[in-house]
Amino acid sequence: MSATISKTRLPATILITALAATLLGACATSSSGEARGPAPAINQPERLLAHARNVQAEKGCDKAIPTYRVIAGFGEGYEVAQYELGACLLETAPTTKQAALLTQEGLFWLRRAAWAGNARAQWRLAMVLSGAPSPYAENVGAVPAEAMGWALVYKENSSRELYGLAPVYPKVLNHLNVTLPQSAKAEATTFAADFAEVKMAIFTPPAQDPSVKKADKLRDQEHRRPGRRVTQTASR
């Protein structure tokens, strides 16, 4: 990859696969088979994000990645999910046989969130692309000019101070200052000066058929009906 900093090419559309439906169905049931209530629907990204974070906290990044993928595809307004997906992918990659593929995907989502203005994604890219030792950069090829560019963009990001985010590590900045030629530093400075946010298109879920809505409502009512589990147990 050249030192030239350029916008990451974005796919024309983000497809939400059938895997999402399988995952969401599984969310409603515990390992013992006991119902936990209606699963978050694919058109409820806020609930999905909360679910993904709970899964990550309880079971680790690798289990949360499928749900994060769904939310990240919603585009503008869900940059935090894009960041968390990218970070999780980089964390998980070294432990899998698909390390290179997951690393590439992780960097894509971090860049996508960074271009949209997410400060944490900008910080993470500055760290992992610098070439300096940093967490979860094991499979990441160094792109120091880009790292310097994101460090400068992050420094001027107004949300950094608003949320009390830490500066880029001094050791990383020192490494970049020592290793980068003057031309690359100038390139990074120009990149930061010209930076303008580019957000992903908002995904609009297809309208649900009224008959499907009615069936879902009846199923939820049946699910909540008192004595349902007792009746099922007695009938076995």
**CATH number for the domain including 70?**
1.25.40.10
Residue 194 has which token pair? 């010209």
Residue 87 has which token pair? 């970070």
pLDDT band at 5 (very low <50, low <70, confident <90, very high): low
If one counts the domains in the chain, the total is 1
pLDDT band at 231 (very low <50, low <70, confident <90, very high): very low
pLDDT band at 31 (very low <50, low <70, confident <90, very high): very low
Does 221 map to a domain?
no
- What are 171-199's pLDDT values in tens digits? 999 999 999 999 999 999 999 999 999 99
Longest pairwise C-alpha distance within the chain = 78
Does 223 map to a domain?
no
- Whether pLDDT at 23 is above 50: no
Q: How many CB atoms lie within 10 A of CB 37?
A: 11
Name the 3-class secondary structure at 35. Answer: strand
Q: Among candidates 210, 211, 133, which has minimal Cα distance to 172?
A: 133
The per-residue pLDDT for 134 is 83
Does 60 map to a domain?
yes
Q: Give the structural domain span for 114.
A: 18-205
Does 189 map to a domain?
yes
Which range, of 31-35, 74-78, 218-222, 226-230, averages the lowest pLDDT? 31-35
- What are 49-62's pLDDT values in tens digits? 999 999 999 999 99
pLDDT band at 33 (very low <50, low <70, confident <90, very high): very low
What average pLDDT does range 37-52 have in this prediction? 76
Percent composition of the chain: helix, strand, coil (DSSP 3-state, to 5): 60, 0, 40
What average pLDDT does range 150-168 have in this prediction? 92
CA distance 224 to 216: 12
What average pLDDT does range 148-165 have in this prediction? 93
What phi, psi does 35 have (nearest 5°)? -70, 140
CA distance 160 to 235: 59
CA–CA distance from 166 to each of 47, 60, 135, 231 (Å)? 28, 24, 15, 56
Residue 12 has which token pair? 């024309």
CA distance 85 to 71: 9
Mean pLDDT over all residues of the chain?
81
**Dihedral sign, CA of 65, 70, 75, 81?**
negative
Amino acid identity of 169?
Y
Does 61 map to a domain?
yes
Does 10 map to a domain?
no
On whether the CB atoms of residues 15 and 47 are closer than 8 A, the answer is no
Does 31 map to a domain?
yes
Q: What is the pTM of this model?
A: 0.73
Q: How many CB atoms lie within 10 A of CB 215?
A: 11
Does 81 map to a domain?
yes
On whether the CB atoms of residues 94 and 139 are closer than 8 A, the answer is yes
